[in-house]
Chain A
Amino acid sequence: MFENIRLSFQGIWSHKMRSFLTMLGIIIGIAAIIAIVSTITGTNEQIKQNLIGAGDNNVTVQLHMGDSTYEMEYNGIPEGVPVITGDVLAEIRAVDEVKDAALYVSREAYNTVYHQNTGLSGGKLYGVEKEYFDVCNYLVRSGRVFDDGDISGFRKVAVLDEDSAEALFLGENPVGKTIEVLAEPYVVIGVVEKSDKFEPVINTMEDYYMYAQRGSGTVFVPYVAWPGLYGYDEPQKLVLTVNKTEDMTAAGKKSADILNSYLSVTDKNLRYEAIDLLKQAKDIQDLSRSTNTMLIWIAGISLLVGGIGVMNIMLVSVTERTQEIGLKKAIGARKSKILGQFLTEAAVLTSLGGLLGVIVGIILAEVISKLTGTLVAISPPAAVGAVVFSMVIGIVFGLLPSYKAANLNPIDALRHE
């Protein structure tokens, strides 16, 4: 066996050019597969990180009408949707996957919030409980967030996030200054920022909306001020935080189910649903996976062509070495010996091709990563699998030539010129 492997390397080495050209199909096929698999894994990882935000395990649950979110400012306050009470919130907090939860209401902040003559366009106005900032992993950058006194005293105070602070105050310190919210004066008491800044790569319109929704600046006022601004009995939205990213889908679904059980709506399209970033990430991954499946098919065809190339060269090699085979059989080599020799040769040839393919594929993946700025993740099991698969290709396509060699008639073979 080792003897056969050694002799195979000797044979490959003595026909360097031919061996290389024979291996080329295998090298290209394996390199393509390794490069594709590495980029898929890398891209998936990146999509997940982009959409979810590393460490920010927040899920938003809000009213949906059919497939789109229900917007209070355009559609009005819906019938049959009760305001979420403290008891219901407690029920949601009791869900296993839910670490903490908070209620809030929100509006587009267009033409709503001003500091002197500077307006906040594209941002949002949130009415929140004081726990909201904890649940959403906000850090206080300056000043403070709402306290019990602000709530019980119905104080007209506001908290800005760093984006809205920048938009309204252009670098000035906003704490202690006054802003106008729907023509009412509010005193800014603090500025908050996300513990992990969310920086998505925008590839699609959906990505854009998601980014716009979270990134253009938010002004927070106490929830108790909301009826004074917009009126009573507006159903809230819910934000959850979970312990593990994998729990996001389950936590969102269970919470939406609880909220839906209190609905008394006639239109079944009006329901609470989680805006499930994990699911969206998966959808995008599935999309990229299906294009990559196609690429893997193409690579597979390259391997098939490579395998046929190996078979062809092995057949040539058997013809060239007819005398050698005849001699070996004459001096007592059994069929199985000859079969084993040629199969080993084919397997060594394609395994070597597979190994070179893995190396080329890794280099290719790194180059793609450098050029496009995407992550690559090289998977050792895929590399090992590729080499083993190449070996199998060699054995399968080497079978016919080896069988032919083993069954040569030694007399004819010795006579062969």
Chain B
Amino acid sequence: MILNLQHIYKDYQQDKLVVPVLKDISLQVEEGEYVAVMGPSGSGKTTLMNIIGCLDRPTAGTYELAGEDILKYKDREMSSVRLKSIGFVFQSFHLLPRQSALENVALPLSYAGVKKKERRERAARALERVGLEDRMNFRPTQLSGGQKQRVAIARAMVNNPKLLLADEPTGALDSKSGKQIMELFENLHREGVTIVMITHDKAIASHAKRVVQIIDGEITENGREVQDA
């Protein structure tokens, strides 16, 4: 089991009010699964992804990533987990505007201490995998939305993480580009990458093999039986 979240709670402090955002979320994902987390806007999907992605800590609950109790890690070790084990894809791409596609993709490799020559080779291969071998030296401003998101996917996958987290990856794209992204995810799924994709769009969610429904911070539909650890 790659993800095992048990009884996760997350509260936000707003002024003096405590706002509960996630309420008793328990979720297991097996290695190689392709899961969509679906729910209306404001239901807590991004909050859940931040916890899964080691960007945030829950108020209560336990979380194991590939069998490791991740919550006892310090911030420094958390960055190392994000670098090696998790790839992120965001709705708004988050590419560095002054860097070429190749440089954007190579960025995580430089944090991993990979040598310059190898960085370029591996970044180039990652761009080939998303079909952008002829756009390597383009700046983000010279790319379409769909192409930008493919660069972002190449960047997410360049360190060969076990887990790909995508938050509304097609949210800023037209339906044709969105479809291409879904085809890419399908390919990655076939290669054995575990994918957790967040969306509020039913049509997009239907590309996944399992759909988890979340409403108002609670899981209403798990897509399979809940196992207690």
Q: A residues touching B (Cβ–Cβ < 8 Å)?
A: 3, 10-11, 14, 323-324, 326-335, 337, 410-411, 414
Contact pick for B82, options A323, A324, A331, CB 8 Å:
A331
Instruction: Knowing that A11-B98, A331-B88, A335-B76 touch, tell me 18 more A-B residue pairs with CB under 8 angstroms.
Output: A3-B110, A3-B116, A324-B94, A324-B96, A326-B94, A327-B90, A328-B111, A331-B108, A331-B155, A332-B79, A332-B111, A333-B83, A333-B111, A334-B76, A335-B75, A335-B79, A410-B55, A414-B90
Name the A residues within 8 Å of B50 (CB-CB).
Answer: 411
Contact pick for A327, options B53, B56, B94, B98, CB 8 Å:
B94
The answer, yes or no, to whether B84 is at the interface (CB within 8 Å) is yes
Name the A residues within 8 Å of B83 (CB-CB).
Answer: 331-333
The answer, yes or no, to whether B80 is at the interface (CB within 8 Å) is yes
Name the A residues within 8 Å of B155 (CB-CB).
Answer: 331
The answer, yes or no, to whether B107 is at the interface (CB within 8 Å) is yes
User: What is the distance, in angstroms, from A319's C-beta to the closest C-beta of chain B?
Assistant: 16
The total of interchain contacts (Cβ-Cβ below 8 angstroms) comes to 54
The answer, yes or no, to whether B1 is at the interface (CB within 8 Å) is no
Pairwise interchain contact A333-B79, C-beta atoms closer than 8 A: yes
Pairwise interchain contact A411-B56, C-beta atoms closer than 8 A: yes
Name the B residues within 8 Å of A327 (CB-CB).
Answer: 90, 94, 96
Name the A residues within 8 Å of B60 (CB-CB).
Answer: none
Q: How far is the CA of A332 from the CA of B75 in the complex (A)?
A: 11
Q: Taking each of B55, B56, B76, which has the highest tally of chain A beta carbons within 10 Å of its own beta carbon?
A: B55
The answer, yes or no, to whether B112 is at the interface (CB within 8 Å) is yes
| Chain B, 97-119, CB within 8 A of any chain A CB | 98, 107-108, 110-112, 116
Name the B residues within 8 Å of A410 (CB-CB).
Answer: 55
Name the A residues within 8 Å of B75 (CB-CB).
Answer: 335
Pairwise interchain contact A332-B82, C-beta atoms closer than 8 A: yes
Name the A residues within 8 Å of B98 (CB-CB).
Answer: 10-11, 14
User: Per-position contact with A for B69-83: 1 when CB-CB < 8 Å, else 0?
Assistant: 000000110011011
| Chain B, 42-80, CB within 8 A of any chain A CB | 50, 53, 55-56, 75-76, 79-80
Closest residue of chain A to B50 (Cβ to Cβ) is A411
Would you call the interface of chain B mostly helix, strand, loop, or mixed?
A: helix
Contact pick for B55, options A14, A333, A334, A411, CB 8 Å:
A411
Total chain B interface residues with beta-carbon distance under 8 A: 25
Name the A residues within 8 Å of B53 (CB-CB).
Answer: 330
Would you call the interface of chain A mostly helix, strand, loop, or mixed?
A: helix
Pairwise interchain contact A334-B94, C-beta atoms closer than 8 A: no
Q: How far is the CA of A11 from the CA of B96 in the complex (A)?
A: 12
Closest residue of chain A to B90 (Cβ to Cβ) is A414
Pairwise interchain contact A332-B84, C-beta atoms closer than 8 A: yes
21 A-B pairs with CB atoms under 8 Å apart are A3-B110, A10-B98, A14-B98, A324-B96, A327-B94, A327-B96, A328-B111, A330-B55, A330-B94, A331-B82, A331-B83, A331-B111, A331-B155, A332-B79, A332-B108, A332-B112, A332-B159, A333-B79, A335-B76, A335-B79, A411-B50
Closest residue of chain A to B155 (Cβ to Cβ) is A331
Q: How far is the CA of A14 from the CA of B97 in the complex (A)?
A: 11
Q: How far is the CA of A214 from the CA of B96 in the complex (A)?
A: 76
A-B CB proximity, top 9 nearest: A332-B83, A327-B94, A332-B82, A331-B108, A333-B111, A332-B111, A334-B79, A332-B79, A410-B55
Pairwise interchain contact B94-A329, C-beta atoms closer than 8 A: no
Name the A residues within 8 Å of B55 (CB-CB).
Answer: 330, 410-411
Q: How far is the CA of A266 from the CA of B134 in the complex (A)?
A: 104
User: What is the distance, in angstroms, from B71's C-beta to the closest C-beta of chain A?
Assistant: 16
Q: How far is the CA of A329 from the CA of B84 in the complex (A)?
A: 13
Q: Taking each of B84, B94, B110, B155, which has the highest tally of chain A beta carbons within 10 Å of its own beta carbon?
A: B94
Closest residue of chain A to B47 (Cβ to Cβ) is A411
User: What is the distance, in angstroms, from A387's C-beta to the closest C-beta of chain B?
Assistant: 26
- Knowing A410-B55, A411-B56 touch, does A330 contact B111 (C-beta < 8 A)? no
Name the B residues within 8 Å of A10 (CB-CB).
Answer: 98
| Chain B, 155-192, CB within 8 A of any chain A CB | 155-156, 159
Name the A residues within 8 Å of B79 (CB-CB).
Answer: 329, 332-335
- Knowing A10-B98, A410-B55 touch, does A328 contact B90 (C-beta < 8 A)? no
Q: How far is the CA of A330 from the CA of B87 in the complex (A)?
A: 9
Name the B residues within 8 Å of A335 (CB-CB).
Answer: 75-76, 79
